[in-house]
Amino acid sequence: MPSLHDVSKRAAKGSLDPVYVLIGSERLLIDRAVDAVRKAVDAMGAPGFNVEVFDGKGLEAARVIAAARTLPMMADMRLVLLRHVDAMTPSEQTHLAAYLDDPSESTCFVMTATKLDGRAKLAKAAKKKGYLVDAKPLRGAALREFIRGEAKAREHGIAPQAIEALLDAVGDDLAAIDDAMERLSLFVGAGQRIDAEAVMTCVTRVRVESIWSLVDAIGLKDRRKGIAAAQSLLDDREPPLRLLAMVARQLRIVARMREALSEGLRPQEAAVRAGAPPFKASDLTESARRFTAASLGKAFTLIAETDRALKSSKRPPDLILEDAVLELCADAS
C-alpha cells in the first residue's frame, strides 16, 4: 500500500496513477497530497481548466464518473476530485468500485474520506488495485520526524527539546504544528535554529500551564481545581478530544519520569529521558511523586474509554470531558 509521501513524491515527478483513494484523519497530509496531484495535472497543460471538484454528500456516482470519463481540454490529463466519498450511499459507492475496473487513462480521479468500511466493495477494490492510501495518524518517532521535516522545509534546524516543547504546546494536531512552525520560522529568522526557548516564547495555541494544572489536579485528587482547569481550556475553544490527548501525553511523560527517577537518574536527566525539556524537571519530579503506578494505570484506562465516548457518543463533548475529569480526580488509589 503506497503512502501519502509516495503519492506526493511521484506527483512531483509527473507520475500519476489513474485513481487514488485517500483515507484517514490526517487532513493536512491528505490536502498536501491532493495539492501535489493538482500541480502535476496543471503542469500537463491548460492549468486550472481541467480540474473538477465534487462533494460526496447526496452525490450520484454517475455524475462524477461521467466527469472522470470526460477528455481533458488542451492537455494530457484532467483531475477529478471527490471529497467525502464516505458521505455517499453504499449503493453509489458500489458504482464507483466498478469504475476502478476500467478507469480513464486521461483522468486522475482522487477520492478522499475520513473512513471507509473495509468490507465494502469500494474499499476492497481500491485496496486490490493498489489505489488505497491510508493516512494513519502520526505518532511517536514518525510525528517527531514530521516536525523535523517541517523545520527543514523552512530551512531551519530544530533542537530535540524544541520538538518536545512544541508537542507540549500544540499536541499532535498536524495543522496546529504547521501553523506553529510558520510562526517559529518568522520568529527565529531565516536559517536560524529553533530552540525550546523560541517555542515557549511564541507558541501559545494551547495554554500548557492549564494542561499541567489539570494533570496536577488529577494527582492531588482535587475536583474543583480539575474542573476549573478543564473549563479554562474549553473556554479557549480547544476541542475536547485534543485536550484529552494532551492530558494523556502529559501523563505518559509523568509515567516515564517516575520510571527514570526510580532508576536513580537526576531530575534533569530524568526529564530528558521522559521526553520533556530539562527546565520541566522540578515540576515533573513533583508530579511523579503524586502519582502511583496504579493510579496512572487507572487514568490511562479511563482516558481510553473517554476517547471512545468522544468519538461515538451523542452526548455533548464538553460534558464527556468534564465527567472524565471528575472521575480522574476522584480516584482514591
How many CB atoms lie under 10 A from the CB of residue 286?
Answer: 14
DSSP state of 194: B
Would you state the pLDDT for residue 56? 93
Would you state the pLDDT for residue 333? 46
Do 123 and 132 contact (CB within 8 A), yes or no?
yes
> Which of 216, 205, 220, 222 lies closest to 283 in space, CA to CA?
216
Torsion angle (degrees, nearest 10) of CA 297, 298, 304, 308? 170
Would you state the pLDDT for residue 13? 93
Host H or E run for residue 102? none
Position with higher pLDDT, 290 vs 13: 13
Would you state the pLDDT for residue 207? 57
**Structural domains present in the chain:** 4-135 (3.40.50.300), 140-202 (1.10.8.60), 208-330 (1.20.272.10)
Would you state the pLDDT for residue 200? 81
Q: Which three cell numbers stand for residue 153?
A: 522545509
- pLDDT (tens digit per residue) in 148-189: 999 999 999 999 999 988 887 787 878 888 888 998 998 999
Indicate the range of 23-32, 189-198, 205-214, 226-235 predicted with least confidence: 205-214
Position with higher pLDDT, 242 vs 306: 306
Q: What percent of the chain has pLDDT over 90?
A: 48
Would you state the pLDDT for residue 61? 96
> Which of 68, 74, 65, 73 lies closest to 105 in space, CA to CA?
68
For residue 253, pLDDT beyond 50: yes
| Mean pLDDT rounded to a whole number for the chain | 88
For residue 47, pLDDT beyond 90: no
- pLDDT (tens digit per residue) in 84-118: 999 999 999 999 999 999 999 999 999 999 888 88
The helix/strand/coil state of 248 is helix
For residue 3, pLDDT beyond 60: yes
For residue 205, pLDDT beyond 60: no
Q: What's the first-to-final CA gap in the chain, in angstroms?
A: 46
Indicate the range of 82-86, 263-267, 268-272 predicted with least confidence: 268-272
Would you state the pLDDT for residue 145? 94
For residue 39, pLDDT beyond 90: yes
Q: List, in sequence order, every beta strand (DSSP E) within 189-271.
A: none
Would you state the pLDDT for residue 146? 94
- pLDDT (tens digit per residue) in 289-300: 888 888 899 999
Q: What is the DSSP secondary-structure string of 146-191?
A: HHHHHHHHTT--B-HHHHHHHHHHHTT-HHHHHHHHHHHHHHH-TT
Locus of grid cell 487514568: 299
